[in-house]
Amino acid sequence: MHSPLLNPSLLAGDHAHLAASARVVADLGLPWLHVDIMDGKFVPNLTFGPETLAALRRHGIDLFFDTHLMLAEPHLYVDAFAKAGANSISIHIEPSYDHGATLARIRSLGCGAGIVLNPDTPASSIESFIDRVDLVLVMTVQPGFGGQAFRQDMLPKLKTISSWRAARGLNFRLEVDGGIDSSNAVECRSAGADTFVTGTSFFKSADKAAFAASFAAL
């Protein structure tokens, strides 16, 4: 089982000072940064593009960029995000495109490949891909906005995917994203999650070192 990994989401950072927000994460010694990319089509919101990642790299941010593509046509953008400095690229199962070819392309670009499913999408929809991914992301809110309430009813889905991982001897990370805080993270950990995206709860935390320590202890 993977060690617990706290993965702050840049979406909840200061959009006029993104490098400074990323630096807060790096200065805590945390290795990962979750970067949410939205297209106003797959989700009703807009965020960053490849140039944002490239600019963070130019500003000396060397965190592992866990890039969550909420795009209707993610296959058209994986090359650009890999070139811009993404380390992991996750794509949603819901839109129709060649998911298998896109996951393979992400790996061929030297990035970890992730598959993501929305709260209303059943675990079975991604089952045929779990042997060729480095990460499975279970959305615990409807994607598009930070600050929403955690969906408790996603715990059985985590357990199902976690049990497939164990039964098949697979090693992908199991990530949760949406409304995660240090209390519901305990339940997610028990259900098999090891990678915890936190936007609002991280950036609003008054004592970020203590917040990070609570996740390290999960």
Task: Provide the annotated active-site residues.
Answer: 36, 177
Q: Which of 11, 18, 22, 188 binds ligand DX5 (CB under 6 A)?
A: 11
Write down the least CB distance from residue 8 to ligand DX5, Å.
9
> Is 177 among the residues that bind Zn ion (CB under 5 A)?
yes
The candidate with the shortest Cα–Cα distance to 56, out of 30, 25, 78, is: 25
Strand order in the sheet with 112-117: 5-8, 195-198, 173-177, 135-139, 112-117, 88-92, 64-70, 32-38
The candidate with the shortest Cα–Cα distance to 68, out of 11, 29, 25, 26, is: 11
C-alpha torsion angle, residues 145, 139, 195, 151 (rounded to 10):
90
Residue of minimal Cβ distance to ligand DX5: 199
Q: Which of 25, 37, 66, 68 binds Zn ion (CB under 5 A)?
A: 68
> Is 157 among the residues that bind ligand DX5 (CB under 6 A)?
no
CB nearer to Zn ion: pick between 155 and 180: 180
Q: Which of 8, 21, 22, 36 binds Zn ion (CB under 5 A)?
A: 36
- Provide the H-helix boundaries in 120-175: 155-167
Say how far apart CA 106 and CA 155 lie, in whole Å: 28
Q: Which of 74, 85, 114, 178 binds ligand DX5 (CB under 6 A)?
A: 178
Q: Which of 9, 21, 118, 162 binds ligand DX5 (CB under 6 A)?
A: 9
Task: Specify the pairing of strand 112-117 against strand 135-139.
Answer: parallel
What is the number of residues in the chain?
Answer: 218
> Is 114 among the residues that bind ligand DX5 (CB under 6 A)?
no
**What is the contact mask toward ligand DX5 in residues 67 to 106, using x (rule: CB under 6 A)?**
-x--------------------------------------
Q: Which span sits near Zn ion by CB under 5 A: 80-88, 104-112, 156-164, 177-185?
A: 177-185
How far is the CA of 17 from the CAs of 20, 22, 197, in angstroms?
5, 9, 20
Contacting ligand DX5 within 20-39 (CB under 6 A): 34, 36
How far is the CA of 90 from the CAs of 75, 153, 210, in angstroms?
11, 22, 29
Name the site residues for ligand DX5 (rule: CB under 6 A).
Answer: 9, 11-12, 34, 36, 68, 141, 143-144, 146-148, 177-180, 197-201
Name the site residues for Zn ion (rule: CB under 5 A).
Answer: 36, 68, 177
